[in-house]
Amino acid sequence: MSNILVTGGAGYIGSHTVHQLLQRGYNVTVLDDLSTGFRDAVPEPRLHICSLFDTEQVTQLLVRQKIDAVVHFAAFIAVGESTKEPEKYFTNNVAGSLSLFSAMAAAGVKKLVFSSTAAVYGNPVSTPILETATIAPVNPYGETKATVERALVWLDQCRGLRSVRLRYFNACGANAEAGLSERHVPETHLIPLLLKAVVTGQPMTIFGTDYPTADGTCIRDYIHVDDLAAAHIAAIEHLLGDGESDVFNVGTGRGFSVREVLAAVENVTGKPVPHVFGDRREGDPAELVADSSKLRSRLGWRPEYTELERIVASAWPSEQRRWA
């Protein structure tokens, strides 16, 4: 089986992907600086604690482990923080990625799956969003991902680095059987915060009720983290089979409003969600829903979690422990 390096493999989506890679028999090496990831999310001997900026050490790791392909998750992901500390985001997400790509060039590794985001589209003109939609990020986080995407297009042309860029919509849920879960600090995502409110009794805030949507709250495409992980496996297989560079949206294609997610949480937990209504959060587009037909038709991917309640239920056990 092929040897795969996963950067950021101790993080939320990274650890779920590592788990699936191992289940499929890949030899997996994880590189993580543990700045936001968790040591216990990765089987111990596979974890190499190292900074992406240490190009020399990363090169040696790629050579020593005879890496065939890299899955690159390691990045800062908080949109709000990125607007307050843009330099931190450009340094880590862009310069860190370039250091990795230099190491890959030095080690002769020519296949990469890159963790991108629907945030590259900014405020889309229409939804569902196709991969051909205009790239116009509305926050520094999205801009860092769009910048790396552009660099990858050139690295393919200039150096033959084949990459698949996956633009995630709203990652959520957990693989409870594998003991994996979402543990962002601070937590800013909707589903964990709704479940937190149920556990603690402290109200969460719904950001904005005056959006141009049916119930006035924002609509998002909630994609289970295991379905996201499966998209990475499909992308690796595409590249290992000598497929061309490409870009894909990863979402279910179905949107839910904040109020609908709240109702799903109440159904799953059997308890009311304490909540208050607040102002809009800066930089939130009204509606982000993926057109994922390209990923379905080209790579044969299908989401298994198509019901919001199943997604919420998968997160409920770990969120109960987390906020108790």
Least distance in Å: CB of 55 to ligand UDP? 31
Indicate which residue of 12, 141, 211, 222 is catalytic: 141
Q: Which is nearer to ligand UDP, 211 or 301 (CB)?
A: 211
Count, residues near ligand UDP per rule CB under 6 A: 15
Q: Going residue by residue from 27 to 66, which x/- string records binding to ligand UDP, judged by CB under 6 A?
A: ----------------------------------------
Q: Which stretch binds ligand UDP (CB under 6 A): 55-63, 201-209, 235-243, 294-302?
A: 201-209
Q: Is 91 exposed, middle or buried (0-12, 13-18, 19+ CB in 10 A)?
A: middle
Q: How many CB atoms lie within 10 A of CB 295?
A: 27
Q: Is 134 exposed, middle or buried (0-12, 13-18, 19+ CB in 10 A)?
A: exposed
Does the annotation count 141 as an active-site position? yes
Q: CA-CA distance, 324 to 314, in Å (whole number)? A: 17
> Which member of 198, 206, 231, 273 binds ligand UDP (CB under 6 A)?
206
Residues in 276-315 at the binding interface with ligand UDP, rule: CB under 6 A: 281, 284
Helices (H), 108-254: 140-159, 190-200, 225-240
Least distance in Å: CB of 278 to ligand UDP? 8
Between helix 308-323 and helix 190-200 the angle, nearest 10°, is 50
Q: Examine residue 81 and tell whether it contacts ligand UDP (CB under 6 A).
A: no
Residues in 158-177 at the binding interface with ligand UDP, rule: CB under 6 A: 170
Q: Which stretch binds ligand UDP (CB under 6 A): 40-48, 63-71, 155-163, 202-210?
A: 202-210
Distance of CA 127 to the CA centre of its chain: 20
Least distance in Å: CB of 142 to ligand UDP? 10
> Which member of 23, 35, 205, 267 binds ligand UDP (CB under 6 A)?
205
Q: Going residue by residue from 208 to 247, which x/- string records binding to ligand UDP, judged by CB under 6 A?
A: ----------x-x---------------------------
Q: CA-CA distance, 74 to 10, in Å (whole number)? A: 9
Contacts of 91 (CB under 8 A, 6+ apart): none
Q: Kindly list the distances between the CA atom of residue 140 and the CA atoms of 68, 100, 192, in Å, as whole numbers in the listed order.
A: 31, 21, 24
Q: Examine residue 188 and tell whether it contacts ligand UDP (CB under 6 A).
A: yes
Residues in 121-160 at the binding interface with ligand UDP, rule: CB under 6 A: none
CA distance from start to end of the chain: 42
Distance of CA 128 to the CA centre of its chain: 19
Three-state SS at 195: helix
Residue nearest ligand UDP, Cβ-based: 218
Q: Which is nearer to ligand UDP, 27 or 188 (CB)?
A: 188
Q: Which is nearer to ligand UDP, 20 or 170 (CB)?
A: 170
Q: Give the tokens for residue 31.
A: 């590189």
Helices (H), 78-123: 79-84, 86-89, 96-107
Least distance in Å: CB of 260 to ligand UDP? 11
**Sign of CA pseudo-dihedral 14, 16, 21, 27:** positive
Q: Examine residue 184 and tell whether it contacts ligand UDP (CB under 6 A).
A: no
Residues classed as catalytic: 141
Interface residue list for ligand UDP (CB under 6 A): 79, 170, 188-190, 193, 204-207, 218, 220, 258, 281, 284
